[in-house]
């Protein structure tokens, strides 16, 4: 999910469901997205596991923009496991 910002509890809930809370690096990129646009982030699992930056691609318009995430190592592990329940099952 990409948004302008997240409340802490909302971001934590997304992580617990295996959804990455992403924010726009530049607030101006938000205005360039329409409802029917298809957004892709190639290799997101690999990039998250390496704590690297993410670039989203608007497939509909052929443009790219940077997004950021603020996740701890544990939160990254939870997202990569598919959510909190699958993560806990690994122990």
Check if the beta carbon of residue 14 is closer than 8 Å to that of residue 21. yes
Check if the beta carbon of residue 33 is closer than 8 Å to that of residue 39. yes
Class of domain 2-89: alpha beta
Tokens 């691609």 locate to 57
Domain boundaries, the chain: 2-89
Q: How far apart are CA 83 and CA 15, in angstroms?
A: 6
Nearest to 16 by CA among 90, 74, 91: 74
Nearest to 38 by CA among 52, 13, 19, 57: 57
Predicted TM-score (pTM) of the model is 0.89
pLDDT digits (tens, 9 = 90+) for 2-61: 999 999 999 999 999 999 999 999 989 999 999 999 999 999 999 999 999 999 999 999
């Amino acid at each position: 999910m990409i948004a302008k910002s997240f409340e802490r509890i909302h971001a934590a809930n997304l992580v617990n469901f295996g959804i990455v809370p992403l924010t726009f690096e530049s607030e101006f990129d938000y205005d360039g997205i329409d409802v029917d646009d298809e957004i892709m982030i190639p290799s997101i699992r690999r990039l998250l596991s390496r704590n690297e930056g993410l670039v989203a691609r608007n497939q509909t318009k052929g443009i790219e923009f940077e997004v950021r995430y603020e996740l701890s190592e544990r939160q990254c592990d939870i997202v990569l496991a598919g959510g909190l329940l699958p993560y806990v099952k690994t122990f």
